Amino acid sequence: MAIFLLSLSSTNTPEPLLFQGDHTQPGRRRATVIGLLVALFVHLLLYLCLPEKFYPVPIAVSPADEIELELEMAAVEEPSPESLRFVEANPEVPENTPDRSDQYSYRSTQAADQSPEASILEAPKVDGEEPSQKIIDGELESAVVLPSVVVAGGASNAAVEAAAQAPGAPPALPEVPSAPRLPTAEFIEQTELPEDPAGTSPLNRDTENAALEALPEDGPIALYQNTEAADTVEPGSGVDTAGIEETRIIPRVRPRLAPELLTGPIMQSLGSASRRGALSIDATFREFGEYEQQFYAALQLGWYQEIEFHQPMDTASSVAVRFTMQADGTIHDIDVVQSNASPLATLLCESALAKRSPFRSWTKEMIAVFGTERTLTIRFNYR
């Protein structure tokens, strides 16, 4: 047993070493120097062999240069004449110049509803029927019809006033005293001159002209005779009041339109809020706006006269007419664009336009903006 153990111990060999050689202090120093040299060589090799695009670029910080800023106020662009649109302003609101200038009228007004969104129409909320340039409608006023009053000879003013103040009768109008009738001139009642072959002589007395020269220069001249003057004539004045009886003429009812507003369909606005106070719309004053407003008012009255005379039977129909107006006020190239009315009603619209020519001439300012002519389109509505 002892021999076996000895044999085992004699067969063990020593472990191999990583570095075979000297493990003294000088050997370790030499290995460190060799490693540093190899690392330096590798870095030099990479620096010389790599391309320049992989080199880090140094950031050059340059001193701040002085920057000169130049401000220039842009001029306000005037809208083209084709983009200008006529709208009817409200005469009851105060004048105020709006920010937008693509809409014009006979006075400057500004809408109260200013929305920051450009898609919403800057206009008051109006429950209209169709896209129109009107926000409020005009009203036609008929002439006052005077009652027929018969004043006979011997009737007193008190009796006439009592009849006018009867129940259901219209209020009596203030009476304007008329001038009394003057006596008949002498030359009217003169006798016929006898035939005298010798003729007349300037030395003869001119009795006819003498009677005219005797009249007072500031004396009243009765151009119109009023039957009510018979009650104010004093007896013995030489005026014959017997049998005077006359009926006052009743004036014909004729529509009168305020020059500020026209009648027609009002605007149908969307997306605007209801506001208190008077309705208003953005509109800039232009001379052509005042001119166009007066022209439309005259055209509408002329059209009403044509309808009153010819009496067309059209209802719920419209006629769109395009025409060209020259700077001298003449109208030509009248063309019916659309019409669902009868031929008579369509012809009345064309006739009303043709009879307004020539209208008032344009001013220099109007010619400078719109040129020498302008094409307009008007829609006539039969209701």
| Element counts in the chain: helices (H) and strands (E) | 7, 10
The pLDDT of residue 346 is 93
Residue 275 has pLDDT above 70, yes or no: no
The pLDDT of residue 319 is 93
The pLDDT of residue 261 is 62
Higher pLDDT, 172 or 39: 39
- Can you state the angle between helices 287-310 and 343-354, rounded to 10 degrees? 140
d(CA 329, CA 357) in angstroms, rounded, equals 7
Nearby residues of 38 by Cβ (< 8 Å), 6 or more positions away = none
Q: Which of 36-40, 256-260, 274-278 has the highest mean pLDDT?
A: 36-40
Q: Which fold has domain 286-383?
A: 3.30.1150
Q: pLDDT tens, 155-183?
A: 444 544 554 454 555 555 555 555 555 55
Q: How confident is the model at residue 214 (pLDDT cuts 50, 70, 90)?
A: low
d(CA 334, CA 351) in angstroms, rounded, equals 10
Collapsing DSSP to helix, strand or coil, 104 comes out as: strand
Higher pLDDT, 8 or 280: 280
Amino acid, single-letter form, for residue 350: E
Peptide bond connecting 220 to the previous residue in cis, omega within 30 degrees of 0: no
Q: Give the chain's mean pLDDT.
A: 68
d(CA 242, CA 245) in angstroms, rounded, equals 9
pTM of structure: 0.44
Q: What is the CA radius of gyration of the chain?
A: 53
At which residue do the structure tokens 């009510």 appear?
228
* Domain(s) of CATH 3.30.1150: residues in the chain: 286-383
Q: pLDDT tens, 307-350?
A: 999 999 888 899 999 999 999 999 999 999 999 999 999 999 99
The pLDDT of residue 124 is 58
Residue 49 has pLDDT above 70, yes or no: yes
Please give the helix or strand (H or E) that residue 135 lies within, else none.
none
Residue 94 has pLDDT above 70, yes or no: yes
User: Which of 18-22, 260-264, 299-303, 372-376 comes out lowest in average pLDDT?
Assistant: 18-22
Which of 132, 129, 126 minimizes the C-alpha distance to 273? 126
